[in-house]
């Protein structure tokens, strides 16, 4: 008798336990992808189906530490689903803290103009545009691969008319002001020990920022003041132990910053208000 989805999920979760802290979830996402359905639909009505032939190769890839998001080609973020691929950083749930801070600041009226420095897959910019249907935005990235994925995501989500994606070097050459600035720069120390899932697969240029992880903040901090419109907000993601250092860089640029924590209580975002 052919193996059923229910049993295959249990076996795959056991096989992935040495690779992943979320082995069961990984197995469910991979199975749903192999079946061509949403995870919830699989759990509610497909557990007694025969296992699709494509499931085992997906599990083998995950056992080799390849991130689930790259295997299935997508990642959910805030209220949107983003296509992701090697060459672009996988959006993390912790980064939703930036959107939460923006919602708390602007409320329902929202910002008119949004700037995402280091747009990557488009996660922050497109989540904000989905939140505020009247807003328009600009996403900047130094990576052509990332910019292409962000553009494709904007088109697939029906947001391309409100989202301009450009190649660029942080805020260099931008001569307008924005109500909301979002930024998740590289902030990992050069010698930091990262999980194989991250260091072997995700782009180093989106992760590492010099010996102390602060190189890009040093470049960004002096640019925020001229890019931020009156009444605006800049939300910049940081590593859990970087708040004091980044606040000092912001202060040296003549700005006042504050810290917002993520759901786990870790310092996650520096906020600068105009």
Residue-wise pLDDT tens digits, 138-148: 999 999 999 99
The values of phi and psi at residue 31, to 5°, are: -65, -45
Positive or negative CA dihedral for 265, 266, 268, 271?
positive
How would residue 192 be classed by pLDDT, with cut points 50, 70 and 90? confident
Same domain, yes or no, for 120 and 36? no
Q: Rounded distance, CA 192 to CA 209, Å?
A: 11
- Average of per-residue pLDDT across 191-202: 92
Per-residue pLDDT at 148? 98
**Into how many domains does the chain fold?**
2
- Whether the full predicted model's pTM is greater than 0.85, yes or no, is yes
Which pLDDT band holds residue 193 (cuts at 50, 70, 90)? confident
The predicted pLDDT at position 150 comes to: 99
Query: Is the pLDDT score of 227 beyond 70?
Result: yes
pLDDT digits (tens, 9 = 90+) for 161-182: 999 999 999 999 999 999 999 9
Alpha-carbon distance 261 to 94, whole Å? 9
> Do both 175 and 50 map to the same domain?
no
Tell me, yes or no, whether 96 and 49 share the same domain: no
Which of 41-50, 134-143, 184-193, 229-238 is predicted with the least confidence, judged by mean pLDDT? Answer: 184-193
- Within this chain, do residues 123 and 182 fall inside the same structural domain, yes or no? yes
Residues 253, 127 share a domain? yes
90/57 same-domain check: no
Judge if 236 and 155 occupy the same domain: yes
Question: CA-CA distance, 90 to 120, in Å (whole number)?
Answer: 9
Q: What does the alpha-carbon distance between residue 225 and residue 235 come to, in Å, rounded to a whole number?
A: 13
Q: Average of pLDDT values for 112-124? A: 99
Q: Are residues 132 and 251 in the same domain?
A: yes
| Rounded-to-integer distance, Cα 187 and Cα 172, Å | 19
User: How many residues appear in the chain?
Assistant: 274
Asked whether the beta carbons of 71 and 61 are under 8 A apart, the reply is yes
Q: What's the pLDDT score for residue 112?
A: 99
Per-residue model confidence (pLDDT) at position 1: 66
User: Same domain for 148 and 269?
Assistant: yes
73 found inside a domain: no
Secondary structure of residue 130 in the 3-state scheme: helix
- For residue 32, give its domain range: 5-64
Q: Is 47 helix (H, G, I), strand (E, B) or coil?
A: coil
Beta strands in 52-211 (DSSP E): 74-77, 80-83, 113-117, 136-141, 163-167, 178-183
Task: Flag whether pLDDT at 53 surpasses 70.
Answer: yes
């Amino acid at each position: 008798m052919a193996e059923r989805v229910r049993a295959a999920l249990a076996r795959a979760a056991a096989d992935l336990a040495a690779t992943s802290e979320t082995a069961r979830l990984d197995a469910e996402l991979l199975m749903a992808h192999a079946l061509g359905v949403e995870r919830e639909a699989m759990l509610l009505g497909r557990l007694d189906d025969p296992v699709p032939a494509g499931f085992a190769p997906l599990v083998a890839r995950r056992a080799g530490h390849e991130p689930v998001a790259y295997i299935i080609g997508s990642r959910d973020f805030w209220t949107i689903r983003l296509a992701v691929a090697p060459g672009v950083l996988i959006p993390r749930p912790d980064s939703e803290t930036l959107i939460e801070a923006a919602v708390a600041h602007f409320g329902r009226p929202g910002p008119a103009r949004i700037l995402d420095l280091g747009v990557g897959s488009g996660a922050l910019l497109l989540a904000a545009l989905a939140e505020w249907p009247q807003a328009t935005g600009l996403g900047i990235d130094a990576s052509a691969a990332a910019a292409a994925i962000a553009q494709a995501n904007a088109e697939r989500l029906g947001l391309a008319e409100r989202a301009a994606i450009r190649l660029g070097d942080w805020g260099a050459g931008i001569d307008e002001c924005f109500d909301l600035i979002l930024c998740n720069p590289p902030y990992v120390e050069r010698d930091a020990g990262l999980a194989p899932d991250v260091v072997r697969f995700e782009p180093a240029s989106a992760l590492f920022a010099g010996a102390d992880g602060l190189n890009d903040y040093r470049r960004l901090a002096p640019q925020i003041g001229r890019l931020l419109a009156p009444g605006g907000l800049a939300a910049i993601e940081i590593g859990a132990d970087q708040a004091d250092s980044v606040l000092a860089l912001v202060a040296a640029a003549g700005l006042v910053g504050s810290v917002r924590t993520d759901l786990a209580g870790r310092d996650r975002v520096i906020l600068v208000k105009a």
